[in-house]
Amino acid sequence: MIGLRYFARKGAMFLLTLWAAVTLNFIIPRLMPGSPVQATLARLAAGGQTVTEATKRAIEIQLGLPHSSLWTQYLDYLVNISRLRFGMTYSITDESVAHAILAAAPWTLVLVGTSTVIAFVVGTLLGVYAGWRRQTRVDSVVTVSSTFFSAFPPFFLGLLLLYFLGFKYHMFPLTGGYTPGLVPQLTLSFLGNAVYHSILPAVTLVVTSLAGWVLGMRNNMINTLGEDYVLFAEANGLRNRTIALLYVARNALLPNVTGFGLALGAVIGGSVLVESIFGYPGIGSLLLLAVDNRDYPLMQAIFLLITVSMLVTIFLVDLLYGLLDPRVREA
Amino acid sequence: MILLEAKGVNVVYQPGRGERIWAVRDVSLSLEEGEFVGVVGESGCGKSTLGFALTQMLQPPAFLESGVIEFRGVDIAGLRGEGLRHQRRRGFAVVLQSGMNALNPVRTIHHQIGDVLQAHKLGGEHWSKDAVHDRGVELLGMVGLDSSVLGRFPHELSGGMRQRAAIALALALEPELIVFDEPTTALDVIVQAALMEMIKELQRARGFTALLISHDMSVVLDATDRAIVMYAGRIVEDQGSMQMVQGGRHHPYTEALFRCYADPRADDVVLQDIPGSPPDLSLPDSSCAFAPRCTIAEGRCWHERPLLAEVGSGGAIACHLRGSSEESAMEGRQGGA
Amino acid sequence: MAIVPPASPMQTNREDVVAVVAPPLEVPKRLRFVTRALLTLWSNRKARAGLVILGFFILVAIFAPWLAPHSPTATSFRPYQNPNAVNWLGTTGNGQDVLSQMIYGTRVSLLVGLGAGLLATCLALIIGLVAGFRPGVVDDVLSFSTNLALVLPGLPLMIVIAAYLRSNSMWMILLVIGFTGWATGARVMRSQTATLRTRDFVTAATFSGQRLFRIVFREILPNMISLAAASFFGAATAAVIAAASLEFLGLGNPNTVSWGSILYWAENDNALLTGQWVLVFVPGLAIVLLALSFILINFGIDALSNPRLRER
């Protein structure tokens, strides 16, 4: 009944995709024209930085040495990432890549996690309502505004909010994840300060990703409304609320859940830009810092982290889907 | 006692920009309590649309353009929303053509039966989980399904079982009228026969009124007390099934339908199709709609639309040649010979 | 099933749409077909709005030299000016006329959007066709690659690739976006091809001994047109937004005159804080409008191929 086969198949798929993504992360820098290793070392030396052994090692792990075989490099790479050894970053003095990421990750996790969940729940509910009451005034208002906001690049909406609510009306702070001078700690006052700082970035992410959920769910609702089981439920005189929620929305939700992982990719992409605009101390800002400094080890490690966390989330959503749709459990 | 009486029913399909389609045209009929009536015709003749109209199931772009539909003396044509919903308990139910897809794929049969029972509970009634279970077992038993089906999801059932489960759901309403819209079309022949047998027995045992909509003349004549033949949105013949089988006077279209089906016991079988195709339903019909395909059509058939008129033995036929008067029928027969 | 970036929301249901296969088209004269397709799109209210906006941008791009009051690159004005009679939208920090930059920038945004959209759609079409037509190992490998590409985070991937490449000309951005944006379309095309492959008319063509190439071009492709069009406008929407994002981050060539680079310089000069909000607001709005036009056209295509979504 529980359909172990479904979960086993999804698990195997997850591992295979994980391996492919990790390997791709190894291949990408080696496909690039020129030798990033030489370029990086030259750039570091020119910048007057001392190239420590650790830095050099980090670059070698991530980008490969010209004189060792590709296979040895690959094995080294696998061993190192399995032990979370990413070497030293040279964007931040005396900091290892792993530490830098560890410090930034919670910020992004909370921001992106919360925004995604809020956008999914609110967007899906709005889509259910608009689809059920289609061709009404509420439906057209919801659909038209969702369409409009789905055309917004997240950074543009972020800049507008920053300008009007932050700069013009001083309702929100202009930059940062917390007021400078505060020490990050788990106290109520610090958390309150952090939440206050994250409102604008979160609103930006929610509004720009909300639209996709609304329109997607509305579409699914309209498609499901034409199903025979909905017609039959009406013929049997079920209550409107039962039909709307348990017959239409419950089935219309399934394709939206499948799409969750892909939507997450968009939100993560959006968060990179949003973090940069709001100076939010998360993974996105760190990635851009790495890009600005041509800090390839940090860049590669962040990309790997983003990819792996997406894969894990998609895997979890797949498992959830197995519980939501009785048909796939045995399939 | 007349259970349902329809007068002058017109159903129109109005697609966004396209032309209006008059799918059902000025149909009047009445169903007696406990009667089993069949409606036959080619696809597109309006038989399913009529069934949907009679049970207030028309979906846009189709709508009831005009007509009165009285169920136990109450006009249900104007009912909407809650008023209509309340009429469905001990009222009229529908079993759809694609019963396979008529069940919610993510709810167990138990839950779906529960949904129907909860939707129609009267004041003070309470459907506990156990009560739903007991009633569910009882309903499934009526349609010949095992009680283990109760805990299953639709995709775990075969096509025939799903259609039976759908009938069980309809029976949960304790309906006085059930419209069966091509209930066996999507099933294979053996399952079809068993399901029709079950429907017949169920109807006899429970005494509800049944309207069977089908394109299959033999299925209809085998199961029903009375058969209605539709062509191009109109009733062209309405006779007792026995009279139909025994021969006698028929509308030329009915005769053509007979020729489409073979008697399996006959020695030689000559199957014929009906040449030509049904008329464009967006146009009005001022003549006999069947005339272009009729083998015996003559002058009058091309200018004047025949009305449904009583013939002997309680039936009615809409044909200038086979209908109303004995003389014209004789002429028709000679003309056709 | 894909909830795709918010940029292309209508694709959420593309796989449902797949079930509604367009009726087999006769092979009409090519021009007549295009005219008819445009006319059908025109009859949809949303698509009409989209076509009008897109048409406007295309005209601006074509006639840029005649429309622009000044040279977009000349640094001949006083920098950091607010809108005035000479420079209607003010000037940049380098003393360039913003209106002229906006007008010339239309060319880049349109080219990157349409070009990357076209590249992604062609890749999607090829991969989808091959995967759908060759069940077994070929399909398995291609489908796996598609799913992999689908779960790779798009913008971070583009950022990493753009960071490795030295010269990020407009063409490079176009290629990066095109090569990272094919997966959604490929998945839909694959399932459509797989469905069509088992259709009677294709089986008939196979049995009558037609060559595979001919079958694909004569029997399959004509039935993929609405899907390919939807995929194109979806990819173009994503491309416009992605290109603007990359340029805004400074990963393009900041010296190319484009909407994204106006935003980049504006952000660099802290234009919002110095009160030059026009520098952010105008190019941003132009990007929104261009993306919106693609989305609206896609609504029309969706409504054409899925009757349930049609407006009454």
For residue B225, the model assigns a pLDDT of: 86
For residue B231, the model assigns a pLDDT of: 84
**Nearest alpha carbon to residue C266 among A168, A159, A271:** A159
State percent of chain A over pLDDT 90. 15
- Inspect the interface and report whether the beta carbons of A265 and C299 lie closer than 8 Å: no
More confident residue, A230 or A31: A230
Residue C99: pLDDT band by 50, 70, 90 thresholds? confident
Secondary structure (3-state) at A189:
helix
CB pairs under 8 A between A and C: 206
Minimum CA–CA partner of A247 in chain B: B104
Task: State whether A44 and A110 are in the same domain.
Answer: no
Please list every residue in chain A whose beta carbon sits closer than 8 Å to the beta carbon of residue C272.
Answer: 159, 162-163, 167
Please list every residue in chain C whose beta carbon sits closer than 8 Å to the beta carbon of residue A34.
Answer: 166
Task: State whether A284 and A152 are in the same domain.
Answer: yes
Task: State whether A56 and A159 are in the same domain.
Answer: no
For residue C115, the model assigns a pLDDT of: 94
Task: State whether A73 and A111 are in the same domain.
Answer: no
Nearest to A235 among B55, B104, B118 (CB): B55
Task: State whether A60 and A127 are in the same domain.
Answer: no
Q: In what order do the strands lie in the sheet with B234-240?
A: B92-95, B177-181, B209-214, B36-40, B226-231, B234-240, B316-317, B309-310
Give, as one character, the DSSP assignment of residue A282.
Answer: S
Q: How far is A166 from chain C (nearest CA, A)?
A: 10
Q: Which of residues 80-119 of A touch B (CB under 8 A)?
A: none
- Inspect the interface and report whether the beta carbons of A33 and C165 lie closer than 8 Å: yes
Please list every residue in chain B whose beta carbon sits closer than 8 Å to the beta carbon of residue A245.
Answer: none
How far is Cα B126 from Cα B229, in angstroms, rounded to an integer? 44
For chain C, the average pLDDT equals 79
Residue C45: pLDDT band by 50, 70, 90 thresholds? confident
- Count of other CB atoms within 10 angstroms of residue B44: 16
For B1-91+175-262+280-287, CATH gives 3.40.50.300
How far is Cα C116 from Cα C272, in angstroms, rounded to an integer? 31
For residue A180, the model assigns a pLDDT of: 74
For residue C53, the model assigns a pLDDT of: 94
* Residue A57 within a domain: yes
For residue A240, the model assigns a pLDDT of: 87
C128: tokens are 């989808």
- Inspect the interface and report whether the beta carbons of B60 and C312 lie closer than 8 Å: yes
For residue B334, the model assigns a pLDDT of: 39
- Inspect the interface and report whether the beta carbons of A291 and C241 lie closer than 8 Å: no
Helix C183-197, helix C225-248: angle, nearest 10: 170
As a three-state string, the secondary structure of chain B is: CEEEEEEEEEEEECCCCCCCEEEEEEEEEEEECCCEEEEECCCCCCHHHHHHHHCCCCCCCEEEEEEEEEECCEECCCCCHHHHHHHHCCCEEEECCCHHHCCCCCCCHHHHHHHHHHHCCCCCCCCCHHHHHHHHHHHHHHCCCCHHHHHCCHHHCCHHHHHHHHHHHHHCCCCCEEEEECCCCCCCHHHHHHHHHHHHHHHHHHCCEEEEEECCHHHHHHHCCEEEEEECCEEEEEEEHHHHHCCCCCCHHHHHHHHHCCCCCCCCCCCCCCCCCCCCCCCCCCCCCCHHHCCCCCHHHHCCCCCCEECHHHCEECCCCCCCCHHHHHHHHHHHC
Instruction: Write down which chains contact chain A via at least 3 CB pairs under 8 A.
Output: B, C
For residue C116, the model assigns a pLDDT of: 93
**Nearest alpha carbon to residue A135 among C47, C50, C310:** C310
CATH number of the domain encompassing residue A130? 1.10.3720.10
- Inspect the interface and report whether the beta carbons of A216 and C9 lie closer than 8 Å: yes
Domain segments of chain B as ranges: 1-91+175-262+280-287, 105-173
How far is Cα B337 from Cα C12, in angstroms, rounded to an integer? 63
Task: State whether A161 and A247 are in the same domain.
Answer: yes
For residue A46, the model assigns a pLDDT of: 61
- Inspect the interface and report whether the beta carbons of A211 and C6 lie closer than 8 Å: yes
CB pairs under 8 A between A and B: 79
Instruction: Report ipTM for this prediction.
Output: 0.84
Residue C16: pLDDT band by 50, 70, 90 thresholds? very low
Within an 8 Å CB–CB cutoff, is residue B61 touching chain C? yes
Minimum CA–CA partner of B61 in chain C: C312
Task: State whether A128 and A211 are in the same domain.
Answer: yes
* Residue A256 within a domain: yes
Q: What is the mean pLDDT of residues C249-262?
A: 85
Within an 8 Å CB–CB cutoff, is residue A196 touching chain B? no
Q: What is the mean pLDDT of residues C65-72?
A: 81
Please list every residue in chain A whose beta carbon sits closer than 8 Å to the beta carbon of residue C142.
Answer: none
Q: How far is B202 from chain A (nearest CA, A)?
A: 19
Q: pLDDT tens across B163-201, in order?
A: 889 989 888 888 888 999 888 877 788 888 888 888 888
Task: State whether A153 and A269 are in the same domain.
Answer: yes
Within an 8 Å CB–CB cutoff, is residue B264 touching chain C? no
Q: How far is B191 from chain C (nearest CA, A)?
A: 27
Q: Among all chains, which residue has been given the structure tokens 């399932």?
A: C191
**Nearest alpha carbon to residue A301 among A39, A60, A97:** A97
For residue C167, the model assigns a pLDDT of: 65
Q: pLDDT tens across C221-240, in order?
A: 877 888 888 889 989 998 99
Nearest to B107 among A237, A239, A246 (CB): A246
Q: Among all chains, which residue has been given the structure tokens 């709609």?
A: B289
C59: tokens are 């005209």
Q: What is the mean pLDDT of residues A50-56?
A: 67
Number of domains in chain A: 2
Amino acid A79 reads: V
Task: State whether A154 and A297 are in the same domain.
Answer: yes
For residue B331, the model assigns a pLDDT of: 41
Residue A44 half-sphere exposure, CB side, CA atoms within 13 Å?
A: 21
More confident residue, A232 or B296: A232
For residue B99, the model assigns a pLDDT of: 63
* Residue A36 within a domain: yes
For residue B335, the model assigns a pLDDT of: 36
Q: What is the mean pLDDT of residues B201-229?
A: 86
Task: State whether A64 and A122 are in the same domain.
Answer: no
Q: pLDDT tens across A73-101, in order?
A: 788 888 888 877 777 776 776 778 888 88
Q: Structural domain of residue A64, as residue ranges?
A: 4-82
For residue A45, the model assigns a pLDDT of: 66
Task: State whether A269 and A140 are in the same domain.
Answer: yes
Minimum CA–CA partner of B60 in chain C: C312
Task: State whether A200 and A317 are in the same domain.
Answer: yes
Instruction: Give yes or no for a cis peptide into A201 (omega within 30° of 0).
Output: no
Which domains can be identified in chain C, with CATH numbers? 39-62+97-309 (1.10.3720.10)
Q: pLDDT tens across B30-51, in order?
A: 888 888 888 888 877 888 888 8
For residue A33, the model assigns a pLDDT of: 66
Q: What is the mean pLDDT of residues C151-165?
A: 83
More confident residue, C270 or A272: A272
Residue B242 has pLDDT above 90, yes or no: no
Minimum CA–CA partner of B15 in chain C: C312
